[in-house]
Amino acid sequence: MTNQRTTRKVKLQVWLTEQEHELLQQAATTTGQGMSSYVRSTVLKAIKADLGVSVDNLSNQ
């Protein structure tokens, strides 16, 4: 059974300083992602790290 993304939506609102925004923009650009995609993937990696999920199992989870 594969885990597929659903249409569930979670709105995340963050307030960034200008410097933090520039860092986010730089990181997203460096990885070739848009800022939303970068934030999504980074948040999921952090959550999974907190829960002890292997980095090898990050895709489609």
Tens-place pLDDT, residues 9-59 = 888 899 999 999 999 999 999 999 999 999 999 999 999 999 997 655 555
Question: Which is more confident, 4 or 48?
Answer: 48
Contact 58, 44 (CB under 8 A): yes
Question: Which is more confident, 39 or 7?
Answer: 39
For tokens 């002890």, name the residue.
52
For the record, the structure tokens of 8 come out as 């569930």
pLDDT at 61 over 90: no
Residue 15 phi, psi dihedral angles, 5° rounding: -110, 125
Instruction: Identify the pLDDT of residue 33.
Output: 95
Name the CA radius of gyration of the chain, rounded: 13
Instruction: Identify the pLDDT of residue 54.
Output: 65
